A and B are shown apart, each in its own frame.
Chain A
Amino acid sequence: MGQGDYGSLPSLAAELANQPISLIVGAGDPAARAAKSVAPAIPLVFLVGEDPVRAGLVTSMNRPGAATDVNFFTGDLGGKRLELICAMVPGARVVGLLVNPSFGVEVVEQHQQAVARAAQSLGRELVVQAATTHAEIEAAFGLLAEAGVAALIVQNDPFFDSRRRQILALSSGHQLPGIFHIREYPADGGLMSYGASLSDTYRQLGVYAGKILHGAKPDNLPVLRPTRFELVINSKSAKAFGLAVPQPVLVAADELID
């Protein structure tokens, strides 16, 4: 939906709301926000990475109200990702962060601050680069490389997910080992990822959508949070980046892709 163009989401959501539908499924924070604001009365089940209570999408975690959520719980893992990439690339004094401001200015700001705090505690410098379009991603990588960044954190963002190949190509092109939020990145050649399983979460989303279509009230379906966060490392990419996986990371890793 939206072809990665967040600006078109509200109008698309309004289009949906005008049709006699009994449920909207929103994948990703921007889509969820658009649907919620345009059609508050229609039951909504969505999947977001950020805290849905803070974003005003649900009333509370256990009694969500008219909309419910399968929480991806990925936004809060920025600090953990920084810790992991620093463990993986011990020599990186400067760490880069790629964000997409159109994901949500406040959310991005919070994410950025959390990562910055983590960097500070570990004594690393953080360079933040924003990108909202294909071209900007390209440019951002250039700028990050120029800034002497040795490791990269990519913000959880559906737009970025849809531009995965470009990002991964740029990452290897600029010799910038990166940590991402879903397994799909290391699977496609990225260095590593830490976060909930996207497929698990979508399956759960489907279950919730099915329950609502069978007459369950969204209010009776509490926000589901993931219990497992998987650490995936592509050992081939690690080699390509000239990195040896340290023991603690290896111990914690859930999957090693050869």
Chain B
Amino acid sequence: MSISLHPDTSQLRPLPSSAPADSATPAVGGHRKIRTRLFTKYVALFVAVVGMALLANGVFEVIFYYREHKAALIRIQHEQAEAAAAKIGQFVKEIESQLGWTTQLPWSAGSAEQRLFDALRLLRQVPAITELAQVDSTGKERLRVSRIAMNVIDSGVDLSQDPKFAEAMAHKIYYGPVYFRRESEPYMTLALAGARKDGGVSIAEVNLKLIWDVVSQIKVGEHGHAYVVGSQGRLIAHPDISLVLRNTDMSRLAQVQAAQAGGGTMPDALQEATNIQGQKVLTASAPISPLGWTMFVELPVEEAYASLYAALKRLALVLLSASIFAVLAGILLARRMVGPIKALGHGAARLGGGDFSQRISIKTGDELEGLADQFNEMGARLQESYASLEKKVEQRTAELRETLEQQTATAEVLRVISSSPGDLVPVFDAMLDKAMQLCEADFGVLNTFDGQSFHTAATRGLPAAYDSYRRRQPLKYGPGTAPAQLLEGDEFVEIADLLESEAYRKGESNRRALVDLGGARCLLAVPLKKDARVVGNVMIFRQEKRSFSKKQIALLQQFASQAVIAIENARLLAELRKRTEELSHSLEELRTAQDRLIQTEKLASLGQLTAGIAHEIKNPLNFVNNFSSLSTELIDELNGILQSAELDNKTKEEVDELTHILKGNLEKVVQHGRRADSIVKNMLLHSREGSGEHRAADINAIVEESLNLAYHGARAEKPGFNVTLKRDLDPAAGMVDIYPQEISRVFLNLVSNGFYAAAKRKESEGEGFEPTLSAGTKNLGNSVEIRIRDNGTGIPPQVKEKMFNPFFTTKPAGEGTGLGLSMTYDIVVKQHGGTIDVVTEPGAFTEFVITLPRALVEQGNKGGRT
């Protein structure tokens, strides 16, 4: 297999530093990343396959080995436990058989010596027996031999009821329960009855401490041991004698409980347990019959499983070495696989990076080589097509750039148009600027045409001499000039060489100035046209002889049409502004008229109401007045009649006095009737429909009359009402041209309000407060000032703002209409052209100041409140 890259074979390896900086570096970087991934995948797959097989094999082996090993261990332990149990059983059996000798003889006189002899010999032979008692067949103790206490012969103690004796007699042998002397040394009573009926019973106290000799001989593995547990769960024998002497209770151990539940043999499930020292052990048990004890053997778990762990270690070692081998093999294979792919990828990356001369050479003789050949072919094709494509792209890009510039310029102009509505100067400036820039002109002008003459709207880059020429005189373009040609209907005018133009040669002044002063050599002009009517032109000039392109002409035409739009926009905007202004003015007028109309309507209906009531009162009042006058006359007549009657002096005097009083009363009725009459008259006068004619009236009299009317009105409404009235009337106030009824309505209103405010303050402040209302007039020459001031509650600022609004009131519902002040305002300001001001301080006073012009200025309406 051979792999190489042409033309530069040294670039086979990814060397970012030597690769072309523009394209190869990122491609090589990406290539390397892919190679690593594939390589890793290959190795991982290989390792996974091999490792899986090894691991599965290993795991199965471990599982089966573990099971077998454990089963073997359990079996061995069981056997050991049974062997050990047999040994203990033998230990007891031996004592039994030794004891058996002592029960061979019958109890008869003279044999005591021999029996003592036998007993001593037994103690000598069996060290475990601490004490031996012999009982005859009746249950009497005949002999007791001890290692510690003195020997006793024929003590005669009756043991016939003792289980030691009774059980032994019944079953030939009796194993007493294990007991602990001084809570320390384990002992057991062993009683044996003789074969003969009269052989009696031998009772031995066996020191079980001596089983130690047996259990310490039993070997269980290296560190394991055997121990014996009694039926009560107490430890009887253990290689560690201290545990036995401590009278250790083993019954809380799981294995002991299990074994006791299972009759000495524990279930297999409980093989692993914790022993009394807290060690993890593998344990097995076997019953020691017929004693009811249990033999346990235990082996530390570590020791039991030591060989298993060794096998596991071996297995792990094999697995590890196999894995390493698998990794190495995987790397080798992957390398052989990835090499050509890497070369291919690298070559493809260079191709992708634009290096079409790249050729890949792989000689593996397989599909990879075919793939490399196809790559090379593709590279050649790409190289061919790339060359032509690049040229086209360049051309297209240039075109696009140009178009973009024009678009941008147009957009810029449009933006200027939209951002400066109605202002044409910046629009023209921007347009000319852009047009010159894009058409590569040296200077340009924009003229407007009003039908007769041209006017300069904007200029750009004009040479100073030509500019001053244009300023010196009105613009005039002679025949043959570009503007003239445009007026004739040309879409555009391009003059390639002005020096050669006919107008120049004929000496047309503007053309001469343009060429001679401005140095223009060629021009391009387009008209500004609105509805086929020329309204101006745009002209751009070059100071060198170079013709304008079609695109440039079209562009200038486009700008020209935009300029027309801008001009039209500005015109429309101005028109719109004017129209809006007119509209808002007339709307304002309409509103005022409407307001007044509403007020008039309201007041008219109020007046009608008042008039109706007054009229109704007038009739009964007439009756009162007329009949009381008539009654006065009748009393005079009565007096005349009584004068002539025969009456004693005293009666006469009384009658005189009575009629006198009666007459006086009637006079009062008449007097007050007249007063009521005048009030009603005033009311009628006040509410008469329409405000009548305006005329010169005495302002002081109107104030006086309004004060009285308001005062009586207030008294009538509220009997307890009291207020101090002050008058400060200027005698020079004189006559004023007013609508008297309207003005008195105003005063009445203001005075009533003043009463209300003062009364309200009195209510809250009580006796110490004296409500006062003052009215004053003052001559101001061409006008008169009227002040109405009360010392009431004052007006808070927020109320003051709104108090002239119709229907705004601070009085409780039903007490005020909210029309008083709005009506006042209308009458004073709108009807009479006067002013009304308010000076107030909340909690102290309120003063209305009204000024009325002496001569009524005729307003829009004639004050006709109809």
List chain A positions with a Cβ less than 8 A from chain B: 53, 60-63, 73, 76-77, 79-80, 82-83, 118, 121, 220-225, 227-229, 247-248, 251-252, 254
B242 and A222 contact, CB distance less than 8 A: yes
Alpha-carbon distance A57/B343, docked complex (angstroms): 94
Closest to B183 in A: A62
B residues in contact with A83, CB < 8 Å: 150-151
Closest to B180 in A: A62
Closest to A121 in B: B150
Minimum C-beta distance from B128 to chain A (A): 8
A225 and B120 contact, CB distance less than 8 A: no
From residue 198 to 213 of chain B, which have CB atoms closer than 8 A to chain A?
Answer: 207, 209-210
Counting CB contacts under 8 A, is B148 at the interface?
yes
Counting CB contacts under 8 A, is B313 at the interface?
no
Alpha-carbon distance A121/B150, docked complex (angstroms): 10
Q: Which of A77, A224, A254 has the most CB of B within 10 A?
A: A224
A residues in contact with B147, CB < 8 Å: 80, 229
A222 and B120 contact, CB distance less than 8 A: no
Counting CB contacts under 8 A, is B117 at the interface?
yes
From residue 413 to 432 of chain B, which have CB atoms closer than 8 A to chain A?
Answer: none
User: Which of the four size classes fits the interface of chain B?
Assistant: 20 to 34
A61 and B150 contact, CB distance less than 8 A: no
A222 and B184 contact, CB distance less than 8 A: yes
Closest to B118 in A: A251
B246 and A63 contact, CB distance less than 8 A: yes
Q: Which of B117, B183, B207, B209 is close to A248, meaning CB atoms less than 8 Å apart?
A: B117
A residues in contact with B180, CB < 8 Å: 62
A61 and B245 contact, CB distance less than 8 A: yes
Counting CB contacts under 8 A, is B796 at the interface?
no
Provided the pairs A77-B148, A79-B149, A80-B149 are in contact, do residues A62 and B245 lie with their beta carbons within 8 angstroms? Answer: yes
A76 and B148 contact, CB distance less than 8 A: yes
From residue 609 to 624 of chain B, which have CB atoms closer than 8 A to chain A?
Answer: none
List chain B positions with a Cβ less than 8 A from chain A: 116-117, 120-121, 123-124, 127, 130, 146-151, 180, 182-185, 207, 209-210, 241-242, 245-247
Minimum C-beta distance from B489 to chain A (A): 130
B residues in contact with A61, CB < 8 Å: 182-185, 245
B117 and A223 contact, CB distance less than 8 A: no
By Cβ-Cβ distance, the 8 closest A-B pairs, closest first, are A222-B245, A61-B184, A62-B184, A61-B182, A252-B120, A83-B150, A251-B120, A62-B246
Q: Which of A60, A118, A220, A251 is close to B242, meaning CB atoms less than 8 Å apart?
A: A220
Alpha-carbon distance A77/B150, docked complex (angstroms): 9
Residue contacts A-B, CB under 8 angstroms, 21 given: A60-B182, A60-B183, A61-B183, A62-B184, A76-B148, A79-B150, A80-B147, A80-B149, A80-B150, A83-B151, A118-B150, A222-B245, A223-B245, A225-B184, A225-B185, A227-B210, A229-B147, A248-B117, A251-B117, A251-B121, A254-B124
A228 and B149 contact, CB distance less than 8 A: no
B residues in contact with A76, CB < 8 Å: 148
Additional pairs, 8, CB under 8 Å, beyond known A62-B180, A251-B121: A61-B184, A73-B148, A80-B149, A83-B150, A222-B245, A228-B127, A229-B147, A251-B120
A220 and B246 contact, CB distance less than 8 A: yes
B116 and A248 contact, CB distance less than 8 A: yes
B residues in contact with A252, CB < 8 Å: 120, 123-124
Closest to A208 in B: B242
B residues in contact with A248, CB < 8 Å: 116-117, 120
Minimum C-beta distance from A55 to chain B (A): 14
Provided the pairs A248-B116, A248-B120, A252-B123 are in contact, do residues A222 and B150 lie with their beta carbons within 8 angstroms? Answer: no
Minimum C-beta distance from B842 to chain A (A): 99
Alpha-carbon distance A40/B848, docked complex (angstroms): 117
A222 and B246 contact, CB distance less than 8 A: yes
A224 and B245 contact, CB distance less than 8 A: yes
Minimum C-beta distance from A193 to chain B (A): 14
Minimum C-beta distance from A204 to chain B (A): 10
A residues in contact with B184, CB < 8 Å: 60-62, 222-223, 225
A residues in contact with B245, CB < 8 Å: 61-62, 222-224
Minimum C-beta distance from B676 to chain A (A): 131
A residues in contact with B149, CB < 8 Å: 79-80
Closest to A81 in B: B150
B148 and A62 contact, CB distance less than 8 A: no
B residues in contact with A229, CB < 8 Å: 147-148
B residues in contact with A60, CB < 8 Å: 182-184
Closest to B212 in A: A227
A62 and B117 contact, CB distance less than 8 A: no
A residues in contact with B116, CB < 8 Å: 248
Alpha-carbon distance A16/B242, docked complex (angstroms): 28
Alpha-carbon distance A75/B795, docked complex (angstroms): 127
A residues in contact with B146, CB < 8 Å: 80
Minimum C-beta distance from B247 to chain A (A): 5
B residues in contact with A220, CB < 8 Å: 242, 246
Q: Which of B150, B151, B183, B209 is close to A227, meaning CB atoms less than 8 Å apart?
A: B209
Alpha-carbon distance A154/B110, docked complex (angstroms): 35
Minimum C-beta distance from B246 to chain A (A): 5
B residues in contact with A73, CB < 8 Å: 148
Closest to B145 in A: A252
Alpha-carbon distance A224/B148, docked complex (angstroms): 16
Alpha-carbon distance A53/B149, docked complex (angstroms): 19
Closest to A77 in B: B148
A residues in contact with B246, CB < 8 Å: 62-63, 220, 222
Minimum C-beta distance from B333 to chain A (A): 61
Closest to B146 in A: A80
